[in-house]
A and B are shown apart, each in its own frame.
Chain A
Amino acid sequence: MSDLQILQHGFIDYLLGKESGIDQHIQSTPTLSAGKRLNIYAYAYKARLKEAVTTDYEKLHSYLGDEQFDQVMERYIEKYPSQETNLRYYSIKMPALLRDEEPFNKIPMLAEIADIEAAFANSFDAKDSPTMSLNDLASLPDSAWKTLRFSTHPSIQLLSFNHNSFDVWKALSEDKEPPEMEHFSAPETRLMWRDSELITRYRPLSAAEATALAFARQGQTFAAICESLLDHFTEEEVPVHAITFLQTWVQEGLVSSLNY
């Protein structure tokens, strides 16, 4: 290792609260020791990461309150030293932390609230993409339907909930008292996406539509999507439902291209 590399590794270790020896490389002045000077950087490192996490998980913060949210942040920062070039992406593992680690996973709603906030951020600055219109759909030749596939808008996020976390998030967003935690007998799915005005939208999805949209996002053909709906509808009902789903997706700006 070069001298500069030794120095930089030591500096980083100091920021992370590890043994480093970096203070041996720093000049002390009569009124301020090397350690106190280094602590300015150590304090700023944590403060900057906490600011990023606080910005990204505003509703989780409201739900937990300052003290408990600070415990979450402390653990997050300890577990995940930043490897991101852009601070925007630092907190993306928050749902995983809350899902995987005690005591946070004792309240499963926390990970789901974090999922919502992460999905908003991901939808907000997802890649731009053109969107198809109902005219484009109507102009498809009959022969297209056999092999028709779609590409969907990059801002689409599908969120699955085992609890009423979305209602809690919504109440917190409206500065209302959140409802008590409720466990669902079957998971509920919500769709989130960015519309043509760049506003992030969301709505619930039925189990059938969630299945169909998941198939569409995998690049499956319209025929395969129809087949997947046989678990939800009779053979006679499937085409009408499949077409209705597709028209809705096109109207909402979820379909970026029609390929056949």
Chain B
Amino acid sequence: MKKILSLFLTLVMIFALVACGQTATNETGAPKPAGNADSEGFKAALICLHGENSTYDKNFIDAFKVACDNKGVEYTIVTDIPEGEECYNKAAEFADDGYNIIFADSFGHEEYMMKAAKEFPDVQFCHSTGTQAHTAKVANFQDAFASIYEGRFLAGVAAGLKLVELYGDESKAVSDENAKIGYVGAFPYAEVISGYTSFYLGVKSIVPNATMEVQYTNSWYDETAEKTTAQALIADGCKLISQHADSMGSPTACDEANIPNVSYNGVTSKDTFVVASRINWAPYFEYAIECAMKGENIPDDWTGTMVTESVLLTELGDCAAEGTAEKLESVKAELEAGTVKVFDCATFTVKEALADTSDFSKAAFITADDEGHLTAYKADVDDDGTFVGETNVIKTEGDITYFAESEFRSAPYFDIIIDGITIK
């Protein structure tokens, strides 16, 4: 028996020697295409909160692979890294290992990425959905997002057209009762509020008397919560549902009740699917890798737009109204040209927000005219943990006064509940 023990120990030693002797073979990624000499030896890494099994992360993973293949760089993807110390550990390990650029995909990864960035000034750290890069001023740490509000606005336009198709009379007007839509949100903070407000404004541009009811599930992914919440919204008279939550709970409820659904992040193969919007991260990844390879500085905040193809709409579902494709094309052109702004202050009022006296009130930061249109708003752009707004984000370009979302910082900061939206 002692022989077996010594045999085992020998085996262990052999394996250890093999491990130290061999260098790891090509980790992942396609063979490098011939050409770009800068890409020799360049290594990129992506840190994911979950894995391919989550549509949120799959979006990042797919885009990352495309970007790295296009740039001809070696890459590694690591999954299931929670929003904690482990993110720092992994980022530091990659830096130790000679990686040139490291990306992370979840909001809570930010401080750990920043911590690693401070320790490894020669490596680029790029964080998606983060908020602190522009105040932290760490040269090799930056945030990125996309103007997804434009995508949601367009999705809202499609939704509005559907409402008109279903309930509109000859003059394309929809009764108040039928102009009610519902939204299943995850958490009550800026990213979600910006999302549903832009969606609502899109609907409103087609159906001026539209109202929206919002309910939160308190989770990014909770199938039963999202389905039940959607059912509650439908039971409350909502004629169309959209969501900012990752599961299929809400589309399923819509399917069962025969209510049109506008989705996020992926196509749902249901009869009630109208359209979905999503962020395409590949342009950012390619841009950042390009800058890193050339040794150029990557901006603290980078906001992808429809022009950079960072904001995409999926193909229209069977449920979409006739004429939607053409209308979306024309609105998209106007958005790209700047003749239409999603958060045009003339299109919404904030009287209720001004009258809000609760602990969460934004009234102190709002300046509005007599009709309730915003003239100035101090948004909490500098995320210093105090949740106090300090930067006026209302701009005027040409003759449009608008809330400049994602211009002062890439991650959204629109957190006002505008009139017409009720939170349940």
Chains A and B are bound partners: no
- The residues of B with any CB-CB pair to A shorter than 8 Å are none
- The residues of A with any CB-CB pair to B shorter than 8 Å are none
